[in-house]
Amino acid sequence: MGELTFESALKSGTSFALNPDAFVRRRRRMTEADKAALVTHDDVLEYKREGAADWLVSCVPADLRDLMLGGDRAIAQCPDPAERDAALRELFMSRAGPDGSACGKVRRFLEALYEASPADHLPASRLLVNRVIVREGVRALTAAKGSQGGATVAGSMRAGAIAAYNMGFPVEAANLLVDAAAPPAKKRTRDRRAGSIPIKWYAAFDHWARALPPGILRIWVRSVLIAWLSSRLRLVDVLRSYIRHGGYAPDGSLIIQVIAKFSKDGHPIDIYIRAGGPLGDWEWAEEHIQQVQTWKYCLPAFEAPGHAGDVTYATRILPRVVSRQHAMSSLIAITSMAPLSATKEVWAELTVSGHSAHGSPSDMAAVIGMHAPPT
């Protein structure tokens, strides 16, 4: 058989069975060696992509793998099964998305497909795909879990079906019948929007950067002030960034360089800011740059016994980037300190999120007046 298509597989009468063992949930905790290897945020994303691709590979039996790679001719031209496994993994890695989420959607769809028709699920006709998406959507709405009450599950399943089709699985997903299984759904809650950070937050971080005693918390506060608030970055970009000395301005002011390896559009970001904030020049900036000059990340991970994810209880810095979850938890913990006292309830009321520093300056200008200076 030549290159696999839905039509050729259907005409040949060939059927395939996914590996059901791959759908058994097995939670694997990361070892300390795993964690130590994930130094930068890019390392973390690559780890997730590789794990998602490997998990998807485990779903595919040898006969389906070979047909997805080109059939009998592919086997003849590349007789080593290990090479064919590697090629399939490379295919999945190329379509995995930045963090492997695309592979995850495909795997969830394939699991639902297998559950719906264990004895005969591949090739999957458009009707079977339609029924699987509808069934999973109804099941999610009945359970009514998540922020949208299950309203987005059918759309996610359809996306998984289309991604599976694009990866070469014999799934008839690109048609109106499949589209009809997941029409646009009315959202159960309001759209989430990033709120603007009030000016007093900038002043509070500027105050803490000066007033806190030497230690992990002060390092964190200073890095947040530089890379999140003053550089106007989203938190996800802060996790990809690091801080360097940027030289001096003609008037002698220190320039700080914040480097993000890539942004939302895939391009790197180089940001240069003056070392100063609402309360004046940062006399501490040279010292801070000296402390972090060898780090390839901005916000370091840490140990906080009994208070995981709360940097205000940190006892030791770890030589790698902090996780996104712990970064958000730590930001909330920092802003809860006096004099700001912004608790979780305050964050929720203001609708502040990790995006908030990104848009705050322009929002402030709109509040102050149309002729307000940009800085």
Query: Domain extents for the chain?
Result: 6-180, 199-368
Is residue 360's pLDDT more than 90?
no
pLDDT category, 372, cuts 50, 70, 90? very low
Mean pLDDT of 354-360: 73
Mean pLDDT of 133-145: 86
CA-to-CA dists, residue 186 to 130, 159, 179, 180, 345, angstroms: 20, 18, 16, 15, 27
Quote the CA–CA distance of 81 and 55 in Å, as a whole number.
Answer: 18
Mean pLDDT of 36-57: 88
Question: What is the chain's mean pLDDT, rounded?
Answer: 86
pLDDT at position 215 is 95
Instruction: Report the range of poorest mean pLDDT among 196-205, 225-234, 246-255.
Output: 196-205
Quote the CA–CA distance of 128 and 173 in Å, as a whole number.
Answer: 10
Q: Which backbone phi and psi does 281 adopt, to 5 degrees?
A: -65, 150
pLDDT category, 174, cuts 50, 70, 90? confident
Q: Which two tokens stand for residue 199?
A: 């000016």
Beta pairing partners, 271: 258
- Give the angle 118-121-124 at the CA atoms, nearest 5°: 160
Q: Which backbone phi and psi does 256 adopt, to 5 degrees?
A: -105, 135
CB distance 300 to 321 below 8 Å? yes
Tell the CATH topology of 199-368: hpI Integrase; Chain A (1.10.443)
pLDDT at position 373 is 45
pLDDT > 70 fraction of the chain, expressed in percent and rounded: 86
State if pTM tops 0.85. no
Mean pLDDT of 105-132: 92
Q: Which two tokens stand for residue 307?
A: 């208070």
3-state secondary structure of 270: strand
Is residue 361's pLDDT more than 70?
no
Model pLDDT for residues 270-286, shown as the tens digit of each residue: 999 999 998 999 999 99
For residue 286, the surrounding DSSP H or E stretch is: helix 285-292
Q: Which two tokens stand for residue 169?
A: 């699985």
CB distance 104 to 124 below 8 Å? no
pLDDT at position 1 is 44
